[in-house]
Amino acid sequence: MRGQEQMQLSTEEKDLLVSILFSQNYALELLSCEFVDIENGDKSITSDEYRKFVQLYHKIENAL
């Protein structure tokens, strides 16, 4: 794994990955893990990014 480096994926690859995340119900789990990392101080993000994470979490949660 390349660590924090940005991996370049095609649009098709991104769409496939997102489809798998939703079909396996991993999307909320991944966001939950991000929140834990943020709360534990393992990951630092801006307040705007945090707000977007929260909105995304609720959007996915309400769709299930």
On whether residue 9 sits in a domain, the answer given is no
Q: How far apart are CA 36 and CA 26, in angstroms?
A: 15
On whether residue 48 sits in a domain, the answer given is yes
* Confidence at 1, pLDDT banded by 50, 70, 90: very low
On whether residue 45 sits in a domain, the answer given is yes
The whole-number pLDDT of residue 6 equals: 78
On whether residue 38 sits in a domain, the answer given is yes
Sequence letter at residue 62: N
Would you say 27 and 60 are in contact if contact means Cβ atoms under 8 Å apart? yes
pLDDT in tens, 5-64: 678 999 999 999 999 998 888 999 999 999 999 999 999 999 999 999 999 999 998 987
Q: What is the pTM of this model?
A: 0.72
On whether residue 16 sits in a domain, the answer given is no
Total structural domains in the chain? 1
Q: How far apart are CA 2 and CA 38, in angstroms?
A: 21
Domain coverage including residue 46: 26-63
